[in-house]
């Protein structure tokens, strides 16, 4: 027999989390109507509000949580590792607020705050140096052996 769920569940007693960055995946899949997900992600700016919508009738995953832009266009889904946890908090009535953080090669990152607190973007981290950049080094020409 399963114990009854405690409606006054306090997630913060276990681990106080004030804000969390979450990946948004599935950007390469088409939307049923309107602009593509990649286009919508490109139109978003850091700090734009986003909406988290549980999708219990999703055939791929009944715990799926859809991410909508401020314009109501789908950008993708939360990852499978996080959608159950976030979806449960939404179902329990916990107030979550989310904003767009950045676009990525797999989709996007959003910032979520809990219990009615406004999310705050983390400080931008410097990008790691890419070795694909032109460093100005060119090796000496080595003629072929004839």
Distance, CA of 53 to CA of 45 (rounded, Å): 20
Question: Domains in the chain, ordered, with CATH?
Answer: 17-114 (3.30.70.2330)
Q: For residue 55, give Cα distances in angstroms to 68, 73, 89, 124.
A: 12, 15, 14, 32
- Tell which residue, 46, 106, 37, 39, has the closest CA to residue 74: 37
H or E segment and range at residue 66: strand 65-68
The pLDDT tens digits along the chain (146 residues) read: 444 544 545 554 566 777 899 999 999 999 988 899 999 999 999 999 999 999 999 999 999 999 999 999 999 999 999 999 999 999 999 999 999 999 999 999 999 999 889 999 988 777 666 666 566 777 788 888 87
- Tell which residue, 136, 108, 95, has the closest CA to residue 46: 108
Identify the pLDDT of residue 76: 96
Distance, CA of 143 to CA of 119 (rounded, Å): 60
């Amino acid at each position: 027999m399963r114990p009854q769920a405690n409606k006054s569940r306090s997630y913060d007693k276990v681990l106080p989390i004030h804000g969390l960055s979450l990946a948004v995946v599935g950007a390469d899949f088409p939307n049923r109507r309107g602009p593509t997900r990649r286009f919508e992600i490109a139109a978003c700016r850091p700090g734009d509000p986003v909406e988290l919508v549980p999708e219990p009738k999703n055939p791929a995953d009944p715990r799926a949580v859809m991410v909508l832009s401020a314009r109501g266009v789908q950008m993708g889904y939360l990852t499978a590792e996080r959608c159950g946890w976030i979806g449960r908090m939404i179902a329990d009535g916990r107030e979550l607020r989310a904003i767009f953080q950045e676009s990525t090669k797999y989709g996007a990152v959003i910032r979520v705050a809990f219990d009615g607190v406004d999310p705050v973007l983390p400080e931008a981290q410097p990008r790691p140096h890419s070795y694909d950049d032109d460093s100005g080094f060119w090796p000496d020409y080595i003629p072929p052996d004839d």
